[in-house]
A and B are shown apart, each in its own frame.
Chain A
């Protein structure tokens, strides 16, 4: 199985801050990498697919980059509605695997 490791596991930050979350795959996955946002008690929401393509309707403050084993999700200016847990997920090979999540909290 391909292991996905996110860092940090959590972070405390403020509205307006720039936030970067990293995701590392245990082997190369090309750009088969998706990012999801999950708010408490809700289903995950797709933010970015194929490492850097913004899903329709997702604000442009979200961006993704990377290829191979190292990926990043960046929120350019954090908004109040962005406080949530973020997951990366590889779709390169089954079993598809998720990272352990990064919880973005209010400082």
Chain B
């Protein structure tokens, strides 16, 4: 059974760097066809895709946030880490990590398991 859980600070100050960890079980990020993504949701607003890391360490970032984001994986610890620099109050949101199931070159490409999310507030 696949589970994911986000962890990190609940409050950060403007200009600080946010580091979030996604700890998962039930799958390995060294298995072909697997990835982990980060998605966020400001209070009362829609979902926004942030970044993806694939089993082969390929990484994709949202262009609007690309310069601020870094995603890495530690396969031995079953963890994926997202860092976001220069935090601003508009970055206040619930941050989710999710398991990606995909078949390269096909439309089978979706987030089928999600963590519970972690609310990060940016305020001085």
Contacts and interface: CB of A to CB of B under 8 A. Distances in A.
Interface of A: 1, 30-34, 36, 38, 42-46, 49-51, 53, 55, 87, 89, 91-92, 94-101
Contact of A98 (B46, B52, B61): B46
A98 B49 contact: yes
A55 B112 contact: yes
B109 A91 contact: yes
B62 A95 contact: yes
B21 to A, nearest CB: 17
Given A44-B111, A87-B47, A91-B109, 15 more contacts: A32-B109, A34-B111, A36-B47, A38-B47, A43-B98, A44-B47, A46-B112, A49-B108, A91-B110, A95-B49, A95-B60, A97-B49, A98-B49, A100-B46, A101-B47
Nearest to A48: B110
Contacts, number: 72
B47 to A, nearest CB: 4
A43 B47 contact: no
Closest 3 CB pairs of A and B: A43-B114, A91-B109, A50-B107
Nearest to B112: A46
A1 B47 contact: no
Interface in B98-124: 98, 102, 106-112, 114-117
B26 interface: no
B114 A44 contact: yes
B96 interface: yes
B115 A43 contact: yes
Interface string B59-75: 01111100000000000
Contacts of B52: 94, 96
B107 A31 contact: yes
A14 B112 CA distance: 28
Contacts of A97: 49
